[in-house]
Amino acid sequence: MIVTYRNPGAGFVATLLATSRAYLQRSSAYLIALIRWPLGPLFTFATWRVTYHAAGNGSVEGATVSGFLLVGVFGLITWTSSIWASGYAVEYERGEGTSASLFLTPASRAAVVAGYGLGSFVWFLPSFAALAFLAIVTGARFDIGDPPAAIAATVSLFVASLAAGFAFSGLFILSRKANLIANVLQSPAYLLSGLLIPLSSLPAWLRPLSGAVPATQAVVALRRSVLLGASTRSIGADVLHSLAVSVVWFVVGLIGLRVVEYVAKHTGRLELF
């Protein structure tokens, strides 16, 4: 029979969706992943809720602590799952022994990396529901005045997380120990993006660095839109800021992916199992 092919754009989308589907199928094959999946976000939320309570804080930046943390943990999970899934894409393939098979195909590497990010985001969606339930039980109050604003902020948070994943993904082609760098960068990224603490508590000299992390303004926009009833117009600047920073991280990541693939093929380090 004759084999027919998709055009490049449709091929990119199909690769992205197929990768995310394969990621979900593979993840759900592990019992331990199914157990860990809802518990992780719940424990993170509970730990921070108790910490704020012990510090005597009933509200943060005009929102309830539970509401503030709900958005923060949502951002944290989106950020970490996307970064770890997309940034780790090559390392996952290496662990499976499929990295050579992947690099032998003409598929866009960017589509595969993005597919990992999307798969991981979808994988964690049900745990957000459990998290929201816990937040409401512990006093979270929502004020969504403009649903499109909340959607725009959520999308920008996902894009920001994916962009960060792209920026890290190339590292894993060159080194299986790239996760050590990612681990080191994780804590300052949480701090700077204000996921679990108010940005206003950061010292002034750290604020410019905070603005360079793509998720920071997306989290601000999300909090304002779901907890304080902000409109699309009022969060527009934050969303645009986040998207602009994300584009920079994406471009760095895409160039990095191409460069490191070439370097890895040149030095013979592409598919170390």
Beta bridge partners of 63: 60
DSSP 69-80: HHHHHHHHHHHH
Residue 9 interacts with other proteins (CB under 8 A): yes or no: no
Beta bridge partners of 60: 63
10, exposed or middle or buried, with CB in 10 Å at 0-12, 13-18, 19+?
exposed
CB nearer to other proteins: give 64 or 169. Answer: 169
What is the Cα–Cα distance from 232 to 235, expressed in whole angstroms? 5
Placement of tokens 């990119």 in the chain: 12
Of 90, 107, 114, 226, the one binding other proteins by CB under 8 A = 107
Q: Which stretch binds other proteins (CB under 8 A): 21-29, 55-63, 79-87, 183-191?
A: 21-29
Residue 29 interacts with other proteins (CB under 8 A): yes or no: yes
Q: Give me the least distance between CB of 257 and other proteins, in Å please.
A: 14
Give me the amino acid identity at 95.
G
CB nearer to other proteins: give 53 or 258. Answer: 258
Residue 46 interacts with other proteins (CB under 8 A): yes or no: no
Of 47, 57, 105, 231, the one binding other proteins by CB under 8 A = 105
CB nearer to other proteins: give 5 or 205. Answer: 5
The half-sphere exposure of 111 on its side-chain side, counting CA atoms within 13 A, is 19
Q: Which stretch binds other proteins (CB under 8 A): 69-77, 106-114, 222-230, 240-248?
A: 106-114
Of 34, 35, 57, 96, the one binding other proteins by CB under 8 A = 96
What's the chain's Rg over C-alpha atoms?
A: 19
Residue 271 interacts with other proteins (CB under 8 A): yes or no: yes
The half-sphere exposure of 46 on its side-chain side, counting CA atoms within 13 A, is 9
Largest CA distance in the chain: 71
H/E element holding 198? none
Residue 18 interacts with other proteins (CB under 8 A): yes or no: yes
Residue 175 interacts with other proteins (CB under 8 A): yes or no: no
Please give the residue ranges that form the binding site for other proteins (CB under 8 A).
Answer: 1, 3-6, 8, 11, 14-15, 17-19, 21-22, 25-26, 29-30, 96-98, 100-107, 112, 262, 265-268, 270-271, 273
